Structure 1
Amino acid sequence: MTRTESVIGAPHRPRIAVGVFILASVAALILSVGVGSVTVSPDRIITVIADHLLPWTIPTSATDIETRIIWEFRLPRALLGFVVGAALAVAGAVLQAVVRNPLADPFVFGVSSGASVAAVATLTLATGALAVVSVPIAAFAGALATTLIVFLLAQQRGRVTPNRLVLAGVAMSYLLSSITSYLVLRASSPGEGVTSVLSWLSGSLAAAEWDGLGLPSAVLVITIAVLVLLARVLNAFLVGDETAASLGIDVGRVRLVLFVITSLLVGVVVAVSGAIGFVGLVVPHAMRMIVGSDHRWLLPSSALAGGLLLVVVDIVARTVLAPTELPVGLLTAAIGAPFFLWLLRRSGRSAT
């Protein structure tokens, strides 16, 4: 077996895995919409959705209150959770391939913090329509700038060093978090506005609306399509820059394009959900164990698994201490931080 074949993995599992994750995601979405202070049965959920999407079919049996709960509150939240989780997982998978570092993750590298500080600056310093329009753009710009700075800081003699990459990302994350705290403290209207910003910084899907789903969903679909077309390039990066260059790939230019794509993904989801960490670290590793490292399958399976994970975590966040709601980011950190420490120790052992 060649080195490339060992990197790509066995070809017989991916189709089954993707099918299983699709079914599990649908089940999780229905469960997410059904559970809460008012429990709604799956058949009523399906009829409400069908009534809105296909009004000429069988009329819904749900009451007006149930219809409003399903369509206006819970379904947008469940779908937003799926989109955010999918985007973060895909961004993590791409970063891990591009820098060939198993610790790569938008949160660990400070990319989420860069998006957050730019978005919070817009929320606290801008007013009215300007704030609403510019938050996604600001988050993308912050994510991209942070990614490029971390990458430049991690270079040593023209090459990226994995240890420097992690240290630079952690340092940038702390720096940007302190800037975010300063912006919150100096906000002109401290009361409820600051409280909502702090909740947003912890990662929350509570403000999900249909209007906020369009942009992140469109960006996710388009970027996954583009990345799948670049799957062979990502596979080549796994083997090394020299191998990628020998295949005719302009390593520097393609790496920059991939950084822009991941920054766009992270920026648009941070703008609508806040900073939710470790999804991009945990999910791609789990998917490599199941489907292998071929990005033609790793990317879609990571998207499905990331969406599934965040939908399930959001269910727990809403129900475990009901009626109090936990920030989603706190739960993903509780899952991801021990995994990060285990991975860091494992990487240290393999380096010795």
Structure 2
Amino acid sequence: MLTSNRLVSRTLFFTLALGLLAAAVVFGVAIGSVPLPPSSVLAVLVGKLFPWLGVGDFTPTEEAIVWAMRLPRVLVAALVGAALAVAGAQMQGLFRNPLASPDIVGTSAGGALGAVIAISAGLAAQSPFYIPLFSFVGSALALTAVYALTARAGRAPVTTLLLAGVAIGALCGAFTALVVSLAWKRWEVAQEISFWLMGGFDSRTWLHVRLLVPCFLFGLGVALTYAPELDVMSLGDEDARALGVETRRATWVVLLSAALLTGAAVAVGGIIGFVGLIIPHAVRLLVGPRHRALIPACALVGAAFLVGADLLARTINRPEEVRLGIVTAIIGAPYFLRLLLRPTG
């Protein structure tokens, strides 16, 4: 009976999460400087995705606004939110630490450093693939350094994790500032980097969607494949090895998967904090700690959350746009403090 009730509960959760994400996408596309009714948005989406249905009850202007301008931005926001949430769930499971997330342990800062190097060196102008590549390398190196500094018998103590994350993040931030200062004479590049570091999805196109989709799908596939290993590793390395888990291999695969998801997210959206921290916690309360259900649930809720946060950033101070990283920090920082100050006894 318990299994049946849990199945029904999870089925209801995923149904509601899919509905929430769909509603967030529709309203994210509909609301803007030129508001559109949701019916027009749906008409454009159906007409473009299913042209054989003959749905054409929309104007060329509506088609341009929905398909060329707003939908790519909304899809990028959804993919970035999903990627950061899944990476956060993997890190918390691997470190067995509730405070592990891409921004807390310096992974986002490492990805940002890699991307900034690619931009300032002019590589991004040669090919758009250099930014996600350099961002992935930066995220992987930062996460590997934090893991090497903190993991003891597969567990990362809270204080050690925070100190190592702050140190690695500060080091990456210092090098990022150095790169920006060296590029300051080219003020267009420096300004682009500075705004990009605060996070946001303005001017995102279908190219960014195509860059992000394969990275996200691959990272999500690895995360789901290694979900059972993460469950077993939560018992401790010795118990996991006794149950047949190759803990060393699983650790490195999960680390690289989390770094790929974080690097891809940072490459197209800049530094967006606290998504990977708060979403896994909220979702874990609803679907439980098993990663096979937790990871896809985090992807859905993270996507809906960041689409909503981006919509808030676009509309809270019209016609100016608040940087998305500021919005997520205002939402997430109090939750982080609550976790940090929560009694452990």
Task: Indicate the TM-score class for this superposition, using the shorter chain for normalisation.
Answer: over 0.9
1:54 is displaced (CA, Å) by 2.4
Q: Distance in 2 between matches of 1:253 and 1:323?
A: 50
1:227 maps to 223
Q: Distance in 2 between matches of 1:294 and 1:160?
A: 20
Q: Distance in 1 between matches of 2:225 and 2:275?
A: 23
Amino acid at match of 1:307: A
The question of whether the paired residues in 1 share the 8 Å contact of 2:230 and 2:291 is answered with: yes
1:62 maps to 58
Q: Distance in 1 between matches of 2:154 and 2:263?
A: 27
Q: Distance in 1 between matches of 2:341 and 2:333?
A: 12
Taking a change above 3 Å as real, the CA distance of residues 138 and 127 of structure 1, as seen in their structure-2 partners, is closer
Per-residue CA deviations over 1:148-196 (Å, capped at 9, x if unaligned) read 1111111458864332122101111112112111211110643232222
SS at structure 2 position matched to 1:56: helix
Q: TM-score, normalised by structure 1?
A: 0.92
2:340 maps to 344
Q: Distance in 2 between matches of 1:157 and 1:292?
A: 25
Is residue 53 from structure 1 mapped to residue 49 from structure 2 by the alignment? yes
- Consecutive unaligned residues of structure 2, counting only runs of 5 or more, are none
The question of whether the paired residues in 2 share the 8 Å contact of 1:76 and 1:208 is answered with: yes
Report percent identity of matched pairs: 36
Q: Distance in 1 between matches of 2:222 and 2:284?
A: 20
1:119 maps to 115
Q: TM-score, normalised by structure 2?
A: 0.94
1:206 to 181, 202, 208: 202
Taking a change above 3 Å as real, the CA distance of residues 127 and 99 of structure 1, as seen in their structure-2 partners, is closer
2:167 to 161, 167, 171: 171
Q: Distance in 1 between matches of 2:212 and 2:257?
A: 13
Is residue 318 from structure 1 mapped to residue 314 from structure 2 by the alignment? yes
Per-residue CA deviations over 1:268-292 (Å, capped at 9, x if unaligned) read 1111111111100000000011110
Taking a change above 3 Å as real, the CA distance of residues 257 and 242 of structure 1, as seen in their structure-2 partners, is same
How many pairs were matched up? 342
2:264 maps to 268
Is residue 90 from structure 1 mapped to residue 100 from structure 2 by the alignment? no
Bigger CA drift: 104-113 or 117-126?
117-126
Q: Distance in 1 between matches of 2:155 and 2:29?
A: 48
Bigger CA drift: 332-341 or 131-140?
131-140
| 1:63-212 matches, cutoff 5 A | 63-127=59-123, 129-130=125-126, 132-155=128-151, 160-187=156-183, 189-212=185-208
Taking a change above 3 Å as real, the CA distance of residues 157 and 298 of structure 1, as seen in their structure-2 partners, is closer
SS at structure 2 position matched to 1:299: helix
Aligned-residue CA RMSD (Å): 1.9
Bigger CA drift: 322-331 or 226-235?
226-235
- Consecutive unaligned residues of structure 1, counting only runs of 5 or more, are none
Taking a change above 3 Å as real, the CA distance of residues 12 and 64 of structure 1, as seen in their structure-2 partners, is closer
Taking a change above 3 Å as real, the CA distance of residues 158 and 302 of structure 1, as seen in their structure-2 partners, is closer
SS at structure 1 position matched to 2:129: helix
1:216 maps to 212
The question of whether the paired residues in 1 share the 8 Å contact of 2:222 and 2:257 is answered with: no
Per-residue CA deviations over 1:217-247 (Å, capped at 9, x if unaligned) read 2222232233222221111122222221111
1:131 is displaced (CA, Å) by 5.3
The question of whether the paired residues in 2 share the 8 Å contact of 1:10 and 1:292 is answered with: no
Per-residue CA deviations over 1:9-36 (Å, capped at 9, x if unaligned) read 9554222111100001000100000001
Per-residue CA deviations over 1:72-130 (Å, capped at 9, x if unaligned) read 11100111100000000000000000010000000000000000001001101224643
